Structure 1
Amino acid sequence: MKEVNPIKDIEKIRTVKRLMKENGDLRDLLIFTLGINAGLRISDILKLRWGDLLYKNGKIREEVLVKEKKTGKTKKFPLNDAVIESINLYIQQIKPSDMEMWVFPSRKKNGGIRPISRIAAWQMINKYCKAAGIKENVGTHTLRKTFGYHQYKNGTDIAMLQKMLNHSSPKITLRYIGIEREEMNERYKSVNL
């Protein structure tokens, strides 16, 4: 399995989101937007039900509570404006009526019985990233790595980011988001003897 990279270019992120909107793929837009803004693993995104994002009256929750599949830990996080906008667009398109419905139902025959698969999510992410001109290896983990990369670049302390991603050490977090290699390359280039 190839290692995937974060999307470091903000304009490429905007292009992916624009393409999803233009194609009316608001389900995919929400998966993408939630992944790059919440730092969740794809397995935790795909298992969301409308009751996780909405109150019974249809109002969007301020905070979401997720039990991580991989770690078993509970993660609580607020929804930012980009995610709220994506939820609102998607709600207008599908008008969910049951809080137990999957947020990201499969479109296959008997769709709605289960959420889309990791493979379908991978295919969607690859399709839109390639269309946006992203050449690096991408996959479902790209979303989480993109979240971590941009948090770090926007000044989030590495210890805080480590906690947000539930990593065991800062070194793992830096390597995970591609900073360790990037900084090492910068150091090599900075010395011109």
Structure 2
Amino acid sequence: YASGLRVSELVGLNKDHVNTKRREFMVRGKGQKDRPVFISQLASDRLEEYLSSRTDSLDPLFLNYSRNNSTDQTGNYRRLSPRSIQRLINKYTRLAGITKHVTPHTMRHSYATNLLMNGADIRSVQSLLGHSNIATTQVYTHVTDAHLRETYEKFHNKPASED
């Protein structure tokens, strides 16, 4: 959620893509286009903790430690797969008592909607999501229509003052 990444971008990250001091990393998205991705201080701190606990010299940022088939032919751990990410989301949404079905894309959608509802302009959101076409980003704006009406009503439906 903290980055708005596509699940394919997340599982493709390597350790050397991440700069926790600057709280950013480079990701190669659709169309093989690179873009910067920014993360919160909290996410950066947790990532540093995770990286400092790693004793291996493997490139992937996130490794699959949990399955019997989590190692490749050389005995090295494999990357987390998109399916592994979905299982983790299912586990933690269940533990949090969330009954709605949540997917990696739900997290991305929530990230974009939150940006828009808090005043980010659509072009910035387009860049942050790595969309080449603004129409793709506009899909996220329908959720904010109710928020726009609320804002309108708040500022434009005040009774005229009697001066």
Fold-level match, TM-score > 0.5? yes
2:111 to 123, 126, 147: 147
Aligned to 2:35: 75
RMSD: 2.6
Shift of 1:155: 1.3
The Cα of 1:46 is off from its aligned counterpart by: 1.0
Q: Which runs of 5+ in 2 are unaligned?
A: 154-163
Distance 1:50 1:65 in 2: 11
The total of aligned residue pairs comes to 142
Residue equivalent to 2:27 = 66
TM-score, length-normalised on structure 1? 0.62
Matched residues in 2 for 1:104 and 1:61: separation? 19
C-alpha displacement of 1:61: 4.7
Q: Note the C-alpha offset of 1:102.
A: 1.6
- Which of 110, 116, 124 is residue 88 of structure 2 equivalent to? 124
Percent of residue pairs bearing the same amino acid type: 23
| Cα distance between partner residues in 1 of 2:144 and 2:32 | 31
CA offsets 1:35-70 (integer angstroms, 9 cap, x no match): x1221111111111211225xxxxx352311111x2
Alignment deviations for residues 62-114 of structure 1 (CA, whole Å, 9 cap, x no partner): 2311111x23111113333022111123134x33442x432211122343432
CA distance in 2, matches of 1:182, 1:133: 25
Helix, strand or coil: the match of 1:65?
strand
Corresponding residue for 1:105? 63
Q: Distance in 2 between matches of 1:49 and 1:166?
A: 18
User: Residues 183 and 148 of structure 1: is their aligned pair in 2 closer, same or farther, counting only changes over 3 Å?
Assistant: same
Q: Which has the higher contact order (CA 8 A, sep 6+)?
A: 1
| Cα distance per residue 1:151-171 (max 9 Å; x no partner) | 1122111121122223312x5
Match for residue 48 of structure 1?
13
- In structure 2, the partner of 1:95 is 54
Contact 1:38–1:147 (CA<8 Å) still a contact in 2? yes
TM value normalised by structure 2: 0.72
Q: Do the aligned partners of 2:26 and 2:35 also contact (CA within 8 Å) in 1?
A: yes
- In structure 2, the CA distance between the partners of 1:181 and 1:148, relative to structure 1 (3 Å rule), is closer
**Against the structure 1 CA distance between its residues 185 and 84, is the aligned structure 2 distance closer, same or farther, given a 3 Å change threshold?**
closer
**Counterpart amino acid of residue 43 in structure 2:** V
CA offsets 1:139-162 (integer angstroms, 9 cap, x no match): 111221121121112211112112
